[in-house]
Structure 1
């Protein structure tokens, strides 16, 4: 075990963060584990062996509902590496109506954007709207509280309390000028770079400004699924550039939808989805249970 080996225990943000860290410091040796939400009991032996082989475990705040994979459980069983925490960055400021439609049987309902659905569109379909009516409702019927963004940052700050690395301050200082999230949990590289720089400082690795310049010019790793910033949010003084379109990249092929196209294709999918209203209710229940 050397002072340059690390792994990351976390969600879909882990892989991109690891690549950024390796670009910033090629001396770091990454040993990957599966994202936390994909791990089963059958993965424990390989997972724990990887954790025992590294010097540093960078981790998100994995709670007790993940049982043996929770951070408290891992620290009790595997205490040799140094644990350094960073946030699971989740920001609904741009996308207040984007959500997963979790299924009672497990998994999520797949939509035009994969796991992600726009609740305004789901409710329009359930209300029997035409595509044209849904387009009119989309921006006009739904409103946000004037303190919507402030509440999001209160939540971010609260969730980062006690963590070694933070992101909320960086997001707060830059979200108006730059689009920092493609979905509520898919941040732009800029956010991950901010976290990576803190992790490097924590392990005592110097930052190369030449490498930082290179990394800042990389394509955003998590831009493969993107929803537009809600118009109601843009009207709260944002200057961030946004296409106003939905997009998804699969196997290097990019598909884009205008709002009306997205609504039309979503309606076609929902017409083949029995119990959509029950699925929506279950999704809200699960989101409350999970705390976001």
Structure 2
């Protein structure tokens, strides 16, 4: 039985679970998610890699020091390394963003770590919830412009890894949304990526697409996708709502909840200004500069 570890972001846990369920000849050694690696657990990660025959990983740059991809390959030349990109495609979610906090971490809210920049813009400019609701239901030509930019960026990331993922995402997208947020893919996408990993390793991938868990590993927060995007692409599906798992969050209530949250944060405009480079749709910050 081959031992493997997965060095990746939040996608690592679900991938490990799918391998454990469908690949009895592989034994996964669990490691911390890459964004949770600290000086305290860094040695544990290295020891896990030392025990493993196979390392499935996302590209890790010099900031990871001895855990960078280059350092690991140099230190463990006999291991089999297979790279895949962070399964990320923002083109379907131009309005979605994190808000990084000065003290570290992200601002939590009604959509867990995610924020809708249209709501941010309307709040900062003292527009009513009804005006904001109208904005969220209308089409913005910038949404399509960002889709094209994001697609180009994602295809570029594919060229730097062993396992490209955008072909899978675009194929799944022809039938239904392939992601719940820009970095939370469906179980189908995760498994199809693993099928390619197994093929590259010379292993037989079981026919498991129809046997995947009904509960989506990364489906806790499900973001709306502006209608203009599937409409312009000639797709039959629409995803006009936000939800937590299967529970819909009506837009009017969501706006009210975010307005309340933001009103209780004295330095909220400054936080938005610090995060401006993350916003794909423009947020009017001029009078806060």
TM-score, structure 1 normalization: 0.88
**Local SS of the residue matching 1:8:** strand
Say yes or no: does 1:228 pair with 2:224. Answer: yes
CA–CA distance in structure 2, aligned partners of residues 68 and 286 of structure 1 = 28
Deviation at 1:242, TM superposition (A): 4.3
- Aligned residues: CA RMSD: 2.1
Q: CA separation in 1, counterparts of 2:238 and 2:168?
A: 20
| Alignment size in residue pairs | 280
Q: Report what 1:47 is aligned to.
A: 45
Q: Is the 8 A contact 1:36 1:69 kept in 2?
A: no
Range with bigger deviation, 30-39 or 138-147: 138-147
Q: Which runs of 5+ in 2 are unaligned?
A: 281-289
Q: How much has 1:68 moved relative to structure 2?
A: 2.9
Q: SS of the residue aligned with 1:5? A: strand
Unaligned segments of structure 1, at least 5 residues: none
Q: CA deviation at 1:80?
A: 3.4
Instruction: Report the equivalent of 2:210.
Output: 213
Cα distance between partner residues in 1 of 2:268 and 2:192: 39
Instruction: Give the alignment of 1:1-292 within 5 angstroms.
Output: 2=1, 4-140=2-138, 142-144=140-142, 146-209=144-207, 211-215=208-212, 218-239=214-235, 241-249=237-245, 255-285=247-277
Q: Is the 8 A contact 1:176 1:239 kept in 2?
A: yes
Q: CA deviation at 1:104?
A: 1.7
- Asked if structure 2 preserves the Cα contact closer than 8 Å seen for 1:101 and 1:108, the reply is yes
Name the CA shift for 1:177/1:203 in 2 (closer, same or farther; >3 Å).
same
Measure, in 2, the Cα distance between the counterparts of 1:240 and 1:56: 40
Counterpart Cα distance in 2 of 1:117 and 1:39: 25
- Mean alpha-carbon deviation: is it higher for 55-64 or for 140-149? 140-149
The alpha carbon displacement at 1:286 in A equals 6.5
3-state DSSP class of the match of 2:142? coil
* Contact 2:144–2:228 (Cα < 8 Å) also in 1: no
For the residue of structure 2 that corresponds to 1:235, the secondary structure is helix
Question: Once the 2 structures are TM-superposed, how far is the Cα of residue 240 of structure 1 from its aligned partner?
Answer: 5.2
Q: How far off its partner does 1:208 sit?
A: 2.4
Distance 1:183 1:240, change over 3 A: farther
* Structure 1 equivalent of residue 284 of structure 2: none
Deviation of 1:25 (Å): 1.2
